[in-house]
Chains A and B, each alone.
Chain A
């Protein structure tokens, strides 16, 4: 799973329904990706990200990012490249996702987070 996907995910427990509740990443095994940098794609993604959730997830992987991102930052090619790499060139193979609201955990195995309700 890449961080772009994680950023779209939310807790889907009954308790968190309607909250768009972001999940906290506890990474296990991580592999690097080899995707070629794409500036326009990154800019387009910036508009879609839940930035705060992204900053938190990046921090879990040891990458520090600014709390805010402005139009002016779009010209900062070093920063944009870094954002691209965090979004697309980190493959989370194992680990878990934790919901800070209801405490539910979702395991990640073989690069796939399991978001199915656990009783089924």
Chain B
């Protein structure tokens, strides 16, 4: 090679380097801007070396990107913290020694030092920072550990072998999953979501694990719930009903790590890391008192390193309780809750149950309720805004009028509770006091009707159908209705029965001093508890109700049914009944 050629080569390389450097500087600035937008510190970056560094990886932070980043960065020394989060283009890195940090910094930031990402080879950047990883906003609440200080909680790792893990997962996947709103499940043994259904036999492939659990814990479990969690799926904080199952509850994790949050009623909380193949046994306080949940994250941070969640199958083992719960946590125990037995009759007059635990309760809690229910639910709002301008809208069970607010001229409200209506009238809404079973509105007169969280307060199915018929009657032909009722299958609460009481904790400042309280003293000395009667709807029940409601040659066409915020919902249209 002649000298000229060599010189040209060097120049070309320099030119390439200069372009690469320029591009990198630009990307780095964007990354820094993003960090400053998300976080909140007085000083984010520094020039002097530190073991802590922001990591700009310019990828979508999925698991495959993470492993490439990790294996490269490990070559510079021992890593203490490494956080790469799906969907976030920056992460965090801490080396055990500052020397490793410096050597990583100098090498990684060198132009044209590309990492072989599957999408496209590209460079990453490191920036020294005075910040500690624990202070980062994006990772708050993600830290978990193996042994959290919750009394009665016990984790055992590698309870099954990887072969047994595959065996279980494959067999479960051969059976059919039932979709819930935020995850899919399969029930074996007693099915507590389907009342009065015969038990589903526990498949034989579970036998070895039931035997092993019996040997270890001395309990033969007779109810198994398999739950599938795709990364981002969640289960809201809950306690398994005391009256339904005995003391020990066991959770076996298959195929993916995850974490479970435990929360004490007084507020302290911990994240328990769940490695695959581990079992978590909950007894006593952990089972009876602490609420548990799985947050909708796609990763956890364990021992300073982010761990991506994959598809996980969780197996919950329980033993059905046949005797009264005698736990030491009466404040959260449902043993004293009376079982409601409701007789189905054609009589549409209010029963004492409805008077005491719906009408009276709402009058009592009206002002407190109103302070907590001021925001319209987006999907209901969307439905109302979707209507033609100047449509006449009737809100049956309008409460404090949160759906009347937007267009008080064309929207009219009615409610059973006079106290609620007083709030509406003060806000300038036109309302009238009536019962949803006998709506004093001319037939074929309103363009749109909504009945949000109302029908679930009616105690018999004849009443619930009658409420639907009233909507059908008052609508103009082709008029639309939107109905919301509480879902039994919701993740926010667990119900043992479809007919039940749900407490309302009322702060005593809202109590009218002249009247005798009808509420019960709460555990919180400042509060009293008012019970509300609910009939929580099973999936599909609202649709069958809509199909049953027919009147004078008219029926409902179901335009849409969906789940929204713990409710089953239907959008209906009044059409001719040709049958």
Contact = CB atoms under 8 A, between A and B. Distances in A.
A79 to B, nearest CB: 18
A1 B428 CA distance: 9
A117 B436 CA distance: 12
A68 to B, nearest CB: 20
Contacts, number: 77
Contacts of A35: 409
B433 A113 contact: yes
B409 A8 contact: no
B422 interface: yes
A10 B442 contact: yes
A2 B441 contact: no
B80 to A, nearest CB: 65
B418 A20 contact: no
A5 B422 CA distance: 16
B412 A112 contact: no
Contacts of A114: 418, 432-433
A72 interface: no
Interface string A46-60: 001010000000000
Nearest to A48: B392
Contact of B422 (A2, A4, A48, A110): A110
Nearest to B424: A112
Contact of A5 (B350, B430, B438, B439): B430
B434 interface: yes
Interface residues of B, number: 31
A8 B425 contact: no
A41 B409 contact: yes
A28 B435 CA distance: 24
Interface string B408-433: 01101010101001101100001111
A27 interface: no
A114 B424 CA distance: 14
A84 to B, nearest CB: 10
Contacts of B414: 115
Nearest to B438: A12
A18 to B, nearest CB: 8
B208 interface: no
Interface string A1-26: 11011001111100000001000000
Nearest to B416: A116
B438 A117 contact: yes
A38 interface: yes
A45 interface: yes
A21 B392 CA distance: 20
A118 to B, nearest CB: 12
Contacts of B96: none
A112 B435 CA distance: 14
A67 interface: no
Nearest to B412: A5
Q: What class of interface size applies to chain A in its complex with B?
A: 20 to 34
Interface in B283-317: none
A112 B421 contact: yes
A48 B421 contact: no
B431 A8 contact: no
Nearest to A10: B442
Nearest to A23: B440
A117 B430 CA distance: 20
B349 interface: yes
A120 to B, nearest CB: 6
B217 to A, nearest CB: 55
Contacts of A4: 409, 412, 430
B350 A120 contact: yes
Contacts of B416: 116
Given A50-B442, A110-B425, A114-B418, A12 B434 contact: yes
B433 A112 contact: yes
Given A9-B441, A41-B390, A110-B422, A117 B435 contact: yes
A59 to B, nearest CB: 20
A76 B283 CA distance: 78
Given A41-B410, A120-B355, 8 more contacts: A8-B392, A9-B440, A12-B434, A112-B422, A112-B425, A112-B431, A114-B432, A115-B434
17 contacts: A1-B430, A2-B430, A5-B431, A9-B442, A10-B440, A10-B441, A35-B409, A40-B390, A48-B392, A88-B409, A111-B425, A112-B424, A112-B425, A114-B418, A114-B433, A115-B440, A120-B350
